[in-house]
Amino acid sequence: MSQTFEFYDARAKEAATAASNATLDNVRDRNLRAEKTWRGLADQAQKVMVDREAAERERALRRAAEQAG
């Protein structure tokens, strides 16, 4: 099951909130590390989505050119 940008972004925001509400240093640090990881996954998911859309546009243009010529 592939996860979406929205899923990863929500987890990153939850971790950031938990970090800001933490009273213990180790809990805050753990949540900050989690936020960084979720944010990286969100960025990667967004890049994959953009790359996939660009590839689909390119394929559509090629198909249209083949049909026209």
pLDDT digits (tens, 9 = 90+) for 1-17: 468 999 999 999 999 99
Q: How far is CA 54 from CA 41, 60, 62, in A?
A: 20, 10, 12
Confidence of residue 22 (pLDDT cuts 50, 70, 90): very high
Q: How far is CA 15 from CA 3, 24, 65, in A?
A: 17, 14, 48
Give residue 55's pLDDT.
97
Confidence of residue 38 (pLDDT cuts 50, 70, 90): very high
Give residue 3's pLDDT.
81
The count of structural domains within the chain is: 1
What domain range is 30 assigned to?
5-68
Alpha-carbon span 34 to 32, nearest angstrom: 5
- Average of per-residue pLDDT values in the chain: 95
pLDDT of 33 higher than 90: yes
